[in-house]
């Protein structure tokens, strides 16, 4: 039971979909940290206009240090 609670907390802590290793170090434009990884957070559509043709999902790439958004994209949206 206690373990289950810990897992929930852990899941909440790790809101990102995944972490990616950078092939070369890069610097965050916001916090100036030299980064070896970037985190990817899933973007789920929560509200939409009935006539919207925007995709249901996307992703946001954030700095693992300051959590600021470096890049965002919508799935299948060229």
Please report whether residue 64 would count as binding Zn ion according to CB under 5 A: no
The residues pairing with 62 across neighbouring beta strands, listed in sequence order, are 39, 69
Q: Which two tokens stand for residue 38?
A: 């970037």
The residue range among 15-23, 39-47, 49-57, 61-69 that interacts with Zn ion, by the rule CB under 5 A, is: 61-69
- Contact between residue 36 and residue 23 where contact means Cβ atoms under 8 Å apart: no
Which of 7, 18, 31, 34 binds Zn ion (CB under 5 A)? It is 31
Which of 26, 30, 60, 61 binds Zn ion (CB under 5 A)? It is 30
Residue 17 CB, shortest distance to Zn ion, in Å, is 18
Which of 26, 28, 43, 60 binds Zn ion (CB under 5 A)? It is 28
Q: How far is CA 21 from CA 25, 36, 48, 51, in A?
A: 9, 6, 33, 38
For tokens 């929930």, the residue is 8
- Which residues of the shown chain bind Zn ion in the complex (CB under 5 A)? 28, 30-31, 63, 65-66
């Amino acid at each position: 039971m206690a373990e289950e609670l810990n897992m929930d907390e852990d899941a909440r802590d790790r809101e990102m979909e995944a972490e990616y290793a950078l092939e070369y170090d890069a610097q965050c434009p916001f916090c100036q940290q030299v980064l070896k990884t970037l985190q990817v957070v899933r973007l789920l559509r929560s509200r939409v206009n009935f006539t919207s043709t925007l995709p249901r999902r996307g992703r946001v790439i954030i700095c693992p240090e300051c959590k600021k958004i470096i890049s965002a994209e919508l799935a299948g949206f060229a």
